Structure 1
Amino acid sequence: MPIDLTKIRAIDVHVHAEVSCHDPEDPVMGQFFDAASAYFKAPRERPKMPEIVELYREAQIAFCMFTVDCESHIGAKRVSNFEIAEFAAKHDDICIPFASIDPHKGKMGAREARDLVENCGVKGFKFHHIMQGCNPGDQVGYPIYEIINHYKLPAIFHTGHSGMGTGMRGGGGVRLKYGQPMLVDDVAVDFPDMKIILAHPSWPWVDESLSMALHKTNVYIDLSGWSPKYFAPQIIQYANTQLRKKMLFGSDFPLIHPDKWLDAARGVGFREEILPGIMKDNAARLLGLT
């Protein structure tokens, strides 16, 4: 059953499936979950996919769900993209499957990407180059980007600071430099049919994301990972004006609850007529739901 936009009040483009329904939590990934939960002051227990879909269905919020594949750099076993796609297909009235493939997997990763799109109904991709240990513009990821570009699908790129690794010795081996938004600019140029979503407000490089979304027709911003009450003023300014059709609601669940994000967004200066676009309409157009 396709998503009925009249029956949902928002679309959350940034929801993590961090544990499998079948396999135990990966112990290496668990160390990063510990650190992220401490940083966000969020519950440590990670919900499984049935719990996530129940929460979002009750809240009348559709959502994009994905894992993060960082097997090469961090050495943590990923949740299967195929498991997420299969689960989402059973709940397609509310859940939109995205996939994550470590850029280091190159052409084999591109084969997986094509399979996921053509045979499993995946509607977009997620990259977290800080956790994947490479520059977003590095040629190693280009075979995967080519598939995404070919199908004109969206891809979410983590930008800015990361709660993953915060407080760990040596940051858990995570290098924040790979979260600089401008590193994605080459990708936006070289793959103009890929709809690039710069995830998070991108602190401390906020203005870079705003500039890219203003300059590139295929670049958008999701506002996940931060409560709106902490947004830099220029985010509100551009959301209300030139980038009003480029800003997307994202929570970063399970670290931030979607209702908590939406409640905060109503009190930070977004114009009343702008909020419906941020909450639902912009994402609906981007995801091809309208």
Structure 2
Amino acid sequence: MPIDPAKFTAIDVHVHAEVSCHDPEDPVMAEFFDAASRYFKTDRKRPTIPETIAFYREQNVAFCLFTVDSESALGAKRISNYEIAEIAAQHDDIVIPFASIDPRKGKLGAREARDLIENHGIKGFKFHGIVQDIHPADRIAWPLYEVIDHYKLPAIFHTGHSGMGTGMRAGGGVKLKWGEPMLIDEVAAEFADMKFILAHPSWPWTDQSLSMALHKENVFIDLSGWSPKYFPKQLIQYANTQLKHKMLFGSDFPLIRPDKWIAAAQEAGFREEVMPLILKENAAKVLSL
């Protein structure tokens, strides 16, 4: 059943699946989850995928669901993209399945992406250069980008600071430099049919994301990962004006709840006429709902 945006109060484009229905929690990821829970001051217990779906039904919010494949850099076993696709197919009235494939998997990763799109209903992709330890424009990722571009799908790229590794010894060994948004600009220039969603306010490089979204019609910004009460003032300014059709609601659940994000956004200075665009209308267009 195709998602009907009219039935929902919002579309959350940034929701993590962190507990497999089949496999135990990976011990490497457990250390990062411990640290992230302390950083975000949230419950360490991660919801299962069915619990996440039930929660979003209660909220009446449709959402994009994905894991993060960091197998090469962190040595952490990922949740299978096929598991995400399978459970999303059972709840396709509310769940929009995204896949995550480590770019270092090259042509084999591109094969997986094509199969997921053609045979398993995947609607987009998630990249996290910081935990994948890779420059977004590294040529090893080109075969994967070519597949996404061919099918004209969106891809979410983590930008800015990362809660992953914050507070850990040496930051968990991950490198924040790969979160600089302008590193993605070359890819956005090369793959015109790909829709690039720059995740988070991108601090300390917020202005780079704003510039890219202003410059390229295929670049958007999701506002996840921070409470809106902490947003840089220029982010609110551009969301209210030149980039009002480029901003997307995202929570970063389970670290931030969508209802708390929306409540904070209503007090953050967004114009009344802009809120419906951010909460639902812009995402519906980007996701081709």
Smaller-chain TM-score bracket: over 0.9
Equivalent in the alignment of 2:132 = 132
Matched, 1:260 2:260: yes
Offset, 1:140: 1.2
Helix, strand or coil for the counterpart of 2:71? Answer: coil
Paired with 2:171 and 2:106, the residues of 1 have a C-alpha distance of: 26
Paired with 2:164 and 2:232, the residues of 1 have a C-alpha distance of: 21
Equivalent in the alignment of 1:241 = 241
**Residue range with higher mean Cα deviation, 135-144 or 104-113:** 135-144
Offset, 1:170: 1.1
Aligned-partner residue type, residue 235 of structure 2:
I
Helix, strand or coil for the counterpart of 1:72? Answer: helix
Aligned-partner residue type, residue 62 of structure 2:
A
Paired with 1:5 and 1:82, the residues of 2 have a C-alpha distance of: 25
Matched, 1:270 2:270: yes
Paired with 2:215 and 2:200, the residues of 1 have a C-alpha distance of: 18
Paired with 1:60 and 1:3, the residues of 2 have a C-alpha distance of: 12
Paired with 1:197 and 1:4, the residues of 2 have a C-alpha distance of: 21
Aligned-partner residue type, residue 117 of structure 1:
I
Offset, 1:6: 1.9
Aligned-partner residue type, residue 123 of structure 2:
K
Equivalent in the alignment of 1:90 = 90
What RMSD over aligned residues (CA atoms) do the two structures have, in Å? 0.5
Equivalent in the alignment of 2:185 = 185
The gaps in structure 2 that reach 5 residues or longer are none
Equivalent in the alignment of 1:33 = 33
Paired with 2:140 and 2:206, the residues of 1 have a C-alpha distance of: 26
Aligned-partner residue type, residue 2 of structure 1:
P
Matched, 1:22 2:34: no
Offset, 1:256: 0.1
Please list the CA deviations of residues 21-53 of structure 1 after superposition, one character each: whole Å capped at 9, or x if unmatched.
111000000000001110000110111110000
Helix, strand or coil for the counterpart of 1:220? Answer: strand
Paired with 2:260 and 2:147, the residues of 1 have a C-alpha distance of: 36
Equivalent in the alignment of 2:144 = 144
Equivalent in the alignment of 1:55 = 55
Equivalent in the alignment of 2:159 = 159
The 4+ residue runs of structure 1 with deviation greater than 4 A are none
Paired with 1:42 and 1:119, the residues of 2 have a C-alpha distance of: 37
Alignment: residue pair count: 289
Paired with 1:207 and 1:15, the residues of 2 have a C-alpha distance of: 24
Equivalent in the alignment of 1:75 = 75
* Identity within the alignment, %: 73
Helix, strand or coil for the counterpart of 1:73? Answer: helix
